[in-house]
Amino acid sequence: MMRHRSGSPSTGSSDEARQAALFAAPALVAIAAVVAFPLVWAVWESLHRHDLRMPWLGRSFVGAANYREAFADPRFWSALGHTFGFTVGTVVLELLIGLALALALNSVRRGAGALRTAALLPWAVPTVVAALVWRFMFESPGGVVNHLLVSSGLVTSPPIWFASPWLAWVPIVLADVWKTTPFMALLLLAGLQGIDPALYQAAALDGAGPVRQMMHITLPLLRPAILAAVIFRSLDAFRVFDVVYVMTRGGPGAATEPLSLYAFSALFRDLRFGYGSAVSVIMFLVSFVLALFWLRAARYQVELS
């Protein structure tokens, strides 16, 4: 005789989905309260002319006027270009240095724990503290960097780093690379430790040297970890604010002003809440598109593997 089951597989799946939704509900409520409400409020604010310098004007609805003003402002496009340039430059440097650091840490056998802890110390330093230290190092004319350049004979007179639109980027980029490269190295080190050592032993028996092992074993198998590290760092670098604010305030002029500092200036210096909210919403949308691009790249990587 055939026995009748008490429930079908679809019923069990629906019960599990219902339980999962109940467990996830508190987190979704918290996300809605912390993320969704401020985002909706920023969008609503961006559609109004809200200027605290002229409160008698009220908060009139202007539609997309704030967005049109932003897109017509050369300073906005300059800040956007600074942001993309900073993101690309720092992420590339951090990836290369982080990969070298991860390979070195992965090859250490004695004292590996102490070395890895020491390598992660810059990541533990608060960003404001790191930015202040690097600013003092590049201060003219008595900074450590200028002293070393002059004493070594590389330059005859110390450069004024923070007075040049191009030289001002050097300490900013170096401070960010020094601060966040350990994070990149940590992610890549986790990927390296997941590679089977037997693959290197087999490659060595076949006559493959270190370069061929790197090109045909390490980098292909490390690709998911590299992609994850680049995703996290690029999204974080695109929102850079504190390093630039502490070191240059966006100067000289607006030569080092990223998009986040431009929005901050519009909101809290010019007190143009409507316009500043519009710039913030644009920055969110660009970050969202960038995240979608990296997610598509990650999905493509999974399909290849």
Using pLDDT thresholds of 50, 70 and 90, give the confidence band for residue 294.
confident
Q: Using the 8-state DSSP alphabet, how is residue 2 labeled?
A: P
pLDDT range class, residue 281, cuts 50, 70, 90: very high
Arithmetic mean of pLDDT, 2-21: 63
Task: Please write the tens of the pLDDT for every residue from 48-91.
Answer: 998 888 887 778 899 999 999 999 999 999 999 999 999 999 99
Tell me how far apart the alpha carbons of residues 230 and 43 are, in angstroms, rounded to a whole number.
29
Supply the pLDDT for residue 4.
47
Average pLDDT value for the chain: 87
Q: What is the mean pLDDT of residues 209-237?
A: 88
Whether the predicted pLDDT of 248 surpasses 90: yes
User: Quick one: fold of 73-304?
Assistant: MetI-like fold (1.10.3720)
| Nearest-angstrom CA–CA distance, 136 and 143 | 6
d(CA 297, CA 235): 14
Which pLDDT score, from 0 to 100, does residue 26 have? Answer: 87
Note the pLDDT tens digit of each residue in 140-172. 777 899 888 888 888 888 888 999 999 999 999
Mean pLDDT of 238-255: 92
Place of tokens 């300059």: 78
Query: How far apart are alpha carbons 174 and 94 in whole angstroms?
Result: 10
- Taking the C-alpha atoms of residue 87 and residue 260, their distance in angstroms, rounded to an integer, is 13
Does the pLDDT value for residue 123 go beyond 80? yes
Residue 272 to residue 286: CA distance in whole angstroms: 21
Backbone dihedral region of 251: left (phi > 0), alpha (psi from -120 to 50 degrees) or beta? beta
Q: For 53, phi and psi rounded to 5 degrees?
A: -75, -25
